[in-house]
Structure 1
Amino acid sequence: MKMRVALWCVISLSWPYLARAAEDRGDVVDGRAIETGDGVSEVDINRKVASSKQLVLNAVKHLQKVSVERACNDFIRNGLWREGELFISVFTSDGICLANGDDNERIWKSIKGLKGVGGGPLITEMLNVGAKGGRVSYVWNNGFRSSYVKTVVKNGVTYVIDCGFFPENAEFATKQLVKTAIAYFIQNGKEATFALISNPNGPFVKGDIYMFAYNFKGVAVAHGNNAALVGQNLIDLVDSRGTPIIKNLIDIAKKKGKGWLDYIWKKEPKRSYVEKVVDPRTKVPYVISAGYYPKVTLPRVENFVKRAIGFLKSNGAKASLSEFSNIVGQFSVGGIGIMVFDYNGKCLANGINPAYVGQNLLKLQDDQGRFFVKDMIAAARKTDKALLSFSLANATAVIYVENVETPDGKFIIGSIYYPSSKISSTQTLVNRAEEFLRERDPEAAFDAFSGRTSSYIKGDLSIFVYGEDGTRLVNGPNKSQIWENYLKLTDQQGKSIVSDIISLGINGGGWAQYQVRNARRRVYVKAVEKKLKNGEVKTFVLGSGYFL
């Protein structure tokens, strides 16, 4: 008997554990929906920024007109309050959740114990920003979430109305980090802000995006990647093409107040966003900036690792390990570098943080407490190469590793990639799920995919599984719809959803699009044929998706 099962992805949420707050200044990213070469659209960040704000403002008016009970019931059950992954959440001033879209398990639970940027309660950040209305950004469910919040007082009680999304967009995240830092600067002062910016493990780091600040003379006052630069005058710093970096950032701040600068850094194109901020006490101006590398992709990282393996085999371990750890060497490119471990977890080379060299890192944990070095060594030894995902530096990190044997010994060699778009995040999640399913029984995989704290839930992405007949087997962490049949399910335009996804996966995979929850949604699917222990062959279609 041959049975086929379709696996794809939809939205699921869990509680945040880190918050960043910034006043809403009406700024959005420069571009709208992006079309890739294969016609696949990236998320329309501008629309989601505007829509999340408008939903909150509408929700405030609705709460003022009707009872709290009626409003919360409407926010949970009325589809008018949903647009794609956007939904309304309501919190009391004490942090008690009264509504959270259709995720009823969160009702009555508190976020009071969750911390904001400066170590204070998240709900306090929401109340402060929400008084005037603005954006609050935080890590939630292994993803970077941006929400618009507004407070409303009814019958003497203050409520926080929240609506957000997971941008997965490096340009947007970079700008939001800067705006968050400026809001923190205004509220808490320069000393506290610069200290947080210079903390490489602090809240003003997101993956390979870090922050830096200068006075108008070009003296570094904070730096998230190299604290040794603080106090140095770098006004004459230029890139490999002779483009002034610090001088141009200061000029943008002086003339425009804010803007973008493109330059080359560590042999890689970089885009940095800069804004001017004035110390309200001393009236001294500063520039606060952050940047990202727009050309880094997962295929590039994989090829980068393979090039390093070739270098290792050609030049031997001693010369290669030294070169891999050279922060100005040929294997230090933009935000990526090579890391090498022995089987026991000892770090032999690290191009991003050479201080790790010589240390045993088996007990090094990611943001969720997972021993990621131990896991990646085990995975590479088992399959010779592996693609794993962890939570590092307030972001989703994808690590590509290979098991390499040379005359000098056996090594685990790899590199870290931080997905910077919904397209790359979706495809990466599918690739990971495909590899996981190939190695395990379906039941074990389904259990892993359906856990509320599963590593297969990334922001607004979670795994769905269907049988060939359309029976739903997994619905992320939500088990209320398991065993129901959705083969005849259609979208808002009458187009088949489940049957088309199953057919697409079985016939080679690819991208599909449909209209649901008043928004366009794209899913990426692939197929895996697997022979089970009893000899039965099953075909699984794996996928993930996002709202445009």
Structure 2
Amino acid sequence: MLSNTRNALGLALLLALGGAAPMPAFAQAPTADTQRLSEQWDEKRATTLLDRAVAHIEAKGKDGVTDFSRQGSFVDGDLYVYALADDGRFLASGGSSAALIGSKVTEQTDAGGKAFFREILDLAAAKGSGRVEYRWLNPVQNREEPKVTLFRKVGDVIVAVGFYSPRASAAQARDLLDRAAEALAADASVALADFQRIGGKFTQDDLYVLVVNMEDGRFLAHGASPALIGRNGHDLRDPKGKAVITDMINIARRKGAGELDYVWRNPTTAKVESKHTYFRAVDGKLVGVGYYTR
């Protein structure tokens, strides 16, 4: 239901921006562009809600934060407003974080040990506003997912709105590919081992690295499915019959690098989803990183 809602919202944003796309194609075959529009729409909603909450505090003062803990104009679907005092006390929330009200959250950390509230407080003191990324429990999915919080300081109150971003972005995939290619060129044996390390620096949410020997098509590394190592990638097909590895190798031989759309199992959701992978040739090896667009 949530994915369908986001798809519809993404289409509305596309039309509002002056684009044109037939609804059936959008609904049935999400692409990198539609995923990006969905993320832009979530951030636009969060910004609009934050604007409204800031105006409320400017008009009513610090006492106005109690209104954020009520269901109403400061809740928009899965988005809600929360507020902190500049000394780290949690003042109000319209969502699951209401359990923190009254607590001092300066040292509160996310699943990865990041003291994100402290980061919000420090940035608010230094710049007056900003954004912070961390991991938080998504009650809809019942799992911890990446979240982005936008915030502004109004007097001694910090007003914030967060939104979940469970899918890695195209920029994150390209960045990981750059780092993986550099590591592979520097020391292939060390890099291949690092690519397989669960929770290591080459796995990030639903992102991971794959490496294939371009001469024989055999997998040398696969951050999500180690069982593929040694298997001939030319034999591999996605659920729609696309020869994914063969296509990547052919493009890399002709151009040195490229990108490909196909469908694949997402290790974080255990579902088959649309995927967009960036890849390049490095010393006779194909190295790739893809992100899931749905």
For normalisation by structure 1, the TM-score amounts to: 0.28
Q: Greater helix percent: which structure?
A: 2
Structure number with greater Rg is 1
Which structure has more RCO (C-alpha within 8 Å, separation ≥ 6)?
Answer: 1
